[in-house]
Structure 1
Amino acid sequence: MAQPGISICIPAYDMGGKGADYLAASFDRLELQSFRDFEIVVSDQSDTGAVAQVCARYGKGMNIRRVDFTDGPRQSSANANNAMRHASGRILKILFQDDFLARNDALDRIVRGFDRDDARWLLCGSGISRDGETVENPMVPRLNDQLRFGRNTVSSPSVLALRAEVGLHFDESLIWLMDVEFYDRCAQQLGAPVIVPEILVANRLHEGQVSAAVTKSLRRAELRHVWRKTRGRAGWRDLRAYAYQVLKAL
């Protein structure tokens, strides 16, 4: 079987009983994509069979591979990494199960962004959706020096794509900072990303989001972890940004 042009890597779980519905809504958008050379890899940490049923139903028309990961660490970073490890495409596209592609040419725009020989990772524009249909608050991703400490000017991991060959994965010690630490590490190791400014991804807002359950103690612990990992290249501005975020988490 030929290598797919792009793998859509989806970490999935029950999500308070809504996970399968959100996943089905995302699959509906994927079915409409103008670019067809893709596979979908779902890393499933559900305790019910709802996600598996959705994958089976939509698998009749799309190339969907569901990987059971109920024995793995119950957190987004580990679940996303598992989907990436099982992907076979030349490009890996992260897409959280409650988010969805906002345009029918989204995958085509992402794949074309990698036409440059030096393109190793890519970030696209995004917006938020409260109803699963309309998209508002457009955001064009940009990097900043304090990104790894929680100043997120990029958006969720669903705006991310990278060449499979780079071999980078999320830090599984992190929950709150898993995305920004990864963006910062990509910038350090891969250079500047390709930026596609158009809104290609919609981040769904709902009560069950992981960010809503992040405690101040978790924030402090993750900030310490990131500081230890990166303090070798830190200057006084980084120390100030780190201290500011720690004070906010007291």
Structure 2
Amino acid sequence: MPKVSICIPAYNQDLYLRKTIDSILSQTYQDYEIVITDDSPGNIVKELAQGYQRPELIKYFKNATTLGSPENWNEAMRQASGEYIKLLHHDDWLSDPDSLAKYVAMLDENPGADYAFSATQAQSPAKNWDHMLDESQLKILKENPLVLYSNNLPGAPSTGIFRRSVDMFFDPKLKWLVDIEFYIRMLHHNNHFIYTPELLLVTYVAEGRVTDECLDNKEVEIFEYLYVLNSIYKQRNQYSKTARKSCLLKAINICEKYDVNSRHEVVAYGYTGKMPRKLRTWLALKAMGNLPAKIYRTMLTKH
């Protein structure tokens, strides 16, 4: 059994996927397997993977039907056999030959932790920037994982590594908050995480990513923020009142962003699940007018 399964959910491109695979093959740490699950309609990914002629190392799987994101991520993880899982999107790559060794060391040297992640460099056609956390952010993340509901501190899933024994997968109902919801569950399971400020990964911010479909998409944002809020309130006793209130106010912000004026409109945007009582009250007041809702929101903020 390999120590690490590097799971690459691939779809219909080979330019950056080649860079991803090459960055793995150049690693000094060698106890790994590469698992590629191909969600493409054609053979572009298959031809690239098989072109390396390393079937014992690069394990290629063609999905029988298109799974979409994030179920293709989950399929790659299901095919993994390693002790650790390192999800790596098909347009992200390891920045240094020692990156994988450093990811593995974070878990090897901290047996009480199930999850570790690194700082990253983001690249786009327009600019590059570093995504790093300071001590205050790390402290908040450890004390209150629900901060993730408003701020994705770790970043993209490619930044992390976790133990396969956690047996945790991404929620297929989500696209925009899928990584945030996963991190919340991961840290709820075990809030002992490891972080390194070393830039071990490069994420490529390209046009056409799932992000482009979700950003400022009212159907996606309203459904997903309320869906995740409901999952948080199902375990309300596990989180502080202050942490829950912060999530509630974020959900209200999303409703205000899209001028949602009633519970009926929430349903029209696709969310039919439960909502916290205070959110239902705010929506009822919003249906009466902006002023009653504003007064109630101010009261929630202060108390």
Q: Please confirm whether the aligned pair reaches a TM-score higher than 0.5, indicating the same fold.
A: yes
User: Residues 30-179 of structure 1 correspond to what in structure 2 (within 5 A)?
Assistant: 30-60=24-54, 63-75=57-69, 77-115=70-108, 116-130=110-124, 136-140=129-133, 142=138, 143=141, 145-179=145-179
Q: Larger RCO: Structure 1 or Structure 2 (Cα < 8 Å, ≥ 6 residues apart)?
A: 1
Write the deviation string for residues 163-184 of structure 1: whole angstroms up to 9, x where unpaired.
1111011111100000011011
Q: Do the aligned partners of 1:12 and 1:97 also contact (CA within 8 Å) in 2?
A: yes
Aligned mates of 1:191, 1:165 — CA distance in 2: 16
Q: 1:39 to 1:59 in 2, by over 3 A?
A: farther
Q: 1:20 to 1:99 in 2, by over 3 A?
A: same
Aligned mates of 1:70, 1:160 — CA distance in 2: 28
Q: Do the aligned partners of 2:150 and 2:250 also contact (CA within 8 Å) in 1?
A: no
- What is the CA-CA distance between 1:205 and the residue it aligns to? 1.4
| Same amino acid, percent of matched pairs | 29
The answer to which of 52-61 and 189-198 deviates more is 52-61
Q: Which runs of 5+ in 2 are unaligned?
A: 260-303
- What is the CA-CA distance between 1:237 and the residue it aligns to? 2.2
Q: Do the aligned partners of 2:82 and 2:164 also contact (CA within 8 Å) in 1?
A: yes
- What is the CA-CA distance between 1:20 and the residue it aligns to? 1.3
User: Residues 218-233 of structure 1 correspond to what in structure 2 (within 5 A)?
Assistant: 218-232=220-234, 233=236
RMSD: 2.0
Residue 4 of structure 1 aligns with which residue? 2
Aligned mates of 2:11, 2:43 — CA distance in 1: 10
More helix by share: 2
- What is the CA-CA distance between 1:155 and the residue it aligns to? 0.6
- What is the CA-CA distance between 1:123 and the residue it aligns to? 1.2
Match of 2:249 among 216, 240, 246: 240
**Structure 1 runs (4+) greater than 6 angstroms displaced:** none
Aligned mates of 1:158, 1:239 — CA distance in 2: 28
Aligned mates of 2:28, 2:148 — CA distance in 1: 35
Q: Do the aligned partners of 1:217 and 1:249 also contact (CA within 8 Å) in 2?
A: no
Aligned mates of 2:152, 2:173 — CA distance in 1: 18
Q: Do the aligned partners of 2:119 and 2:130 also contact (CA within 8 Å) in 1?
A: no
**Aligned residue identity for 2:186:** C
Q: Secondary structure at the match of 1:174?
A: coil
Q: Secondary structure at the match of 1:175?
A: coil
Q: Secondary structure at the match of 1:34?
A: coil
Q: Do the aligned partners of 1:99 and 1:158 also contact (CA within 8 Å) in 2?
A: yes
**Aligned residue identity for 1:34:** T
Aligned mates of 1:46, 1:150 — CA distance in 2: 33
Number of residues paired by the alignment? 241
Aligned mates of 2:225, 2:129 — CA distance in 1: 30
Q: Do the aligned partners of 2:148 and 2:184 also contact (CA within 8 Å) in 1?
A: yes
Q: Which runs of 5+ in 1 are unaligned?
A: none
Q: Do the aligned partners of 1:149 and 1:180 also contact (CA within 8 Å) in 2?
A: yes
Aligned mates of 1:204, 1:34 — CA distance in 2: 23
Q: Do the aligned partners of 2:145 and 2:187 also contact (CA within 8 Å) in 1?
A: no
Q: Do the aligned partners of 1:91 and 1:161 also contact (CA within 8 Å) in 2?
A: yes
